[in-house]
Structures are given as structure tokens and as C-alpha cells.
Amino acid sequence: MRRLVLTRYDYASFGCFIAYAGCSIIIPLVLYQMSVDLGFTLQEGGLAAGGALQMGRAIPMVLSMLLSGFVAGRWGMCRSLGVASLLMGGGILCAAVAPVYAVLFLALMVTGLGEGIIEGLNTPFVENLHREEAGRYLNFSHSFWAVGIIISVLLGGWLLNRGISWRFVVGGVSLLALPPTLILLLPADGKKAYPERPERLPWQLVWKQTRDILKTPRFWLFFAAMFVAGGGEFGLTFWAASYIQLEFSASAWLGGLGTACFAGGMFLGRSVSGLLVRQEYLPHLIISTAAAGVLVCLFFPLLNAPWLLEYQQQLPWVSIFTKKWLLFLLLFLAGLCSAPFWPSVQSYCVERLPFLDSTMLFILLSCAGIPGCAFVSWMMGLFGNLIGLRNSFFIVPLCYMILLLLTVVDTVQARKQVKP
């Protein structure tokens, strides 16, 4: 197997993923402190308001994702990603100085505009550089999403634990957007320039490509798969820190450490699968990790569960469910299982539908994943108000079970088509 060959623009993509991840995870990390400061305390029914922040962020994200194909066709991918990175960093900086919940909500909507273009274009940006082995490069580049999470939650959690205001922590994350912005917007030598399309695409052609995709029945199977894959993954990412602080009475540092364990598993899973798993084995990878993810995530609602601890005298081994080390181990394993879903489902879909435009496929699939992230995060907050945040974690294995079934259905259909 050939080694990965990386260019300046691969590093720009890595930087976009790091900044995007940092801007995405920093609000969940500081949510507990922010809720007290801005008046929607989580212990007093504010879980749904916390989850609604992601819903408000997702609406402009989806809108900008839908337009990102037109934007890239008009101004090119490099310039579009550079401006989007700048917009994302500026929005999260505004969130850091928000005086009330409503201003915070609006600032995150601005952040979402930039994030939507990055989400829509960063994957096809890499795919254009490495068309022969796109699956490997996509899994490897997506692993830097986890790097951004690890950096943000460990450093942010440490700063919060030292008494630093959440506003400085959020503002500091905005600086992550600066390096990729400079790499993408500064001019490059002719031979080293990004391979943009030689001609600008008319919007009529982009619209035709979009309609062709939407008319393809098999696309909707992958659309649903992306919705639940994104929802399960980000539901864990969004609520892990608050879950640790609320259910285990832990510090912000431990909340950040738990999220870092999840991100560490994601980094390992994506980088290893990018280096070792060949394109033709992507459906096997999705099915096996989804099955493992269901089993791992079913344990989260059992941790510190009062009904289970009632049997502690008769069954001394039950006390293991009160241990923080088990929680961190489960988060790491959940990250390992969740790692391949997003890039692998996208790459597998492009492989299964080669007659459709790959850039628009990546964009429209992301338009499923982002609402999935927002919807599941909001649902977990809503159910957290009703039945407790711990029990709302049952939603995550349900998402992974649906992903497993959808992928099995597609592989069975693919085998039937191959038979003479």
C-alpha cells in the first residue's frame, strides 16, 4: 500500500478541520458555565435551551452548505474555504462577548454560515487532490477534526478549572481559524496552485447536478445514513462534558478530559482506517464499527444509575458502574467506533453513484449529517429534561443501529446487482 503524499492544500484542509472542530466543541464544553452566566441553568430545565443552540447553528449551516456548490462554482474552492474560515472565526469571537442568550444565538448563526461552507467543501476539496484513493485521504484528513476537539477540550477544560472565564476560552478558539485562512487566501506559485476547475460553473449546471442527485432513489438511503451517523456522533460530542459534570459532580477539567477521550478514539479510528482500510472494504468497516458502537453506547445510561446501584450489596461488582475510569474508557471506545462513519459513508456513496457529480454529492450528504447533529443534540437535551440526561443517551445506540441496518440493506442490494 502506497504512503500518503500530502500537499500544502492538505495541510490547509487539516487546519480547517481543526478550527471547525474547536469552534463546534467549545460551546458544549463551556455550556455549564455559560448557562449560569446567561440565565438558562441546566439543572433547572435549561437542557433543551442548551440543545437549541445547536439547532439555531444548524439552520444557517445547511443553508450555506446548499449554496456552497454555487459559491465554489463561481469563486473556486480555495477562496470560498478561506472566506468561510474567516467568517467562522469571527462568529465564534462574537459569541465570546455575547451579553445575553439571544445575542449568543445570533453569533452562533453567523458561525454556522462559515461552518456550513467548510463542511460542504472541505471533503470534496481533498477528494479533488486525491481521486485514486479518496477514501484513505478522506479518513485521514477527517481525523484532524478529532485533533481540534482534543486541543480545545483539554486546554479549555484546564483553563476553566483554573478559574478563567468561559469568554476568554471561547475567544481563544477563534484563533484556530487564522492559519487555514492564510494558507487558503494567500497566493501560491502556478505549479503549486490548487487544481480548480479551469472554467467557472454556471448556476444552471450546478442546479442540474443537484436535481440529478435528488432524483436518484439510492441517494436517499445514504442521506438517511448520514443523518443518523452525524446525529449519534455529535450527540455524544455535544453532551459528554455536561453529562460528566452533572451526573458525576465532576470539574470542567474532567468534563474536557472525557470529551478528549472520545476525540482520541475518533482520531485513532480515522487515522488507522485511512492508512489501512482500502476503498472496497468501506461498507464492512461501517457495519462492523456500527455494531460495536451499539454495544458500547448501551452502557452509558447504566453509569451511576440509581436503580442499578440498589443491587450493590447483593452484587458487589455493580460498583464498577460508578467508576470514572470506566466512563472514560467507554468514551474512548465510542469514539473509536464512531470514527469512520462520516467520511466513509460519504466516500462509499460517491463510489456507489459514480454517474453523479461527486462535489454535489459530498455537499448534499453533509446537508443530512449537520441536521442530524442538531436534531439529536436537541432531542437529547429535550429528553434530558423529561427523563434525565443519563437516560437520553439511549438515543445514540439507536442511531447507530439504524446506520447498521441501512448499510446492510445497501450491501445486499449491491450484491444482487453484481450477480449475473
DSSP string computed for 253-316: HHHHHHHHHHHHHHHHHHHHHHHH--GGGHHHHHHHHHHHHHHHHTTGGGTT-HHHHTTTTT-G
Residue 2 counted as domain residue: no
Domain containing residue 300 = 8-418
Which carries the bigger pLDDT value, residue 70 or residue 406? 406
Q: Is it the case that residue 194 has pLDDT exceeding 90?
A: no
Residue 3 counted as domain residue: no
pLDDT attached to residue 420: 47
Tell me which range, 105-109, 137-141, 387-391, is most confidently predicted by mean pLDDT.
105-109
Residue 350 counted as domain residue: yes
Residue among 204, 159, 151, 221 nearest 412 (CA) = 221
Residue 64 counted as domain residue: yes
Residue 82 counted as domain residue: yes
**Cα–Cα distance between 420 and 417 in angstroms, integer?**
8
- pLDDT for 343-365, tens place per residue? 889 888 988 888 888 878 888 89
Q: Is it the case that residue 62 has pLDDT exceeding 50?
A: yes
Which carries the bigger pLDDT value, residue 181 or residue 71? 181
The mean-pLDDT minimum among 110-124, 161-175, 305-319 falls in 305-319
Q: Is it the case that residue 251 has pLDDT exceeding 50?
A: yes
Are the C-beta atoms of residues 125 and 9 closer than 8 Å to each other?
yes
- pLDDT for 368-382, tens place per residue? 988 898 899 889 988
For residue 308 the three cell numbers come to: 442499578
**Cα–Cα distance between 321 and 313 in angstroms, integer?**
14
Residue 1 counted as domain residue: no
Cβ-based neighbours of 257, under 8 Å, separated by 6 or more: 153, 154, 157, 328
For residue 51, the number of C-alpha atoms closer than 13 Å in the C-beta half-sphere is 28
Radius of gyration of the chain (CA): 21
Average pLDDT, the chain: 85
Q: Is it the case that residue 19 has pLDDT exceeding 90?
A: yes
pTM for the full predicted model: 0.77
Q: Is it the case that residue 29 has pLDDT exceeding 90?
A: no
State which H helix or E strand residue 190 sits in.
none
Residue 116 counted as domain residue: yes
In total, how many domains does the chain have? Answer: 1
Q: Is 409 in a helix, a strand, or coil? A: helix
CATH number for the domain harbouring residue 380: 1.20.1250.20
CB-based burial of residue 311 (10 Å sphere; 0-12 exposed, 13-18 middle, 19+ buried)?
Answer: exposed
Letter for the amino acid at 261?
A: C
- pLDDT for 36-61, tens place per residue? 888 766 555 556 666 678 778 888 99
Give me the percent of the chain exceeding a pLDDT of 90.
35
Residue 125 counted as domain residue: yes
Distances in whole angstroms, Cα of residue 302 to Cα of each of 25, 83, 262, 310: 25, 45, 18, 12
- pLDDT for 206-238, tens place per residue? 788 889 999 999 999 999 999 999 999 989 988
**Cα–Cα distance between 322 and 303 in angstroms, integer?**
6
- pLDDT for 136-162, tens place per residue? 788 788 889 888 988 998 899 889 888
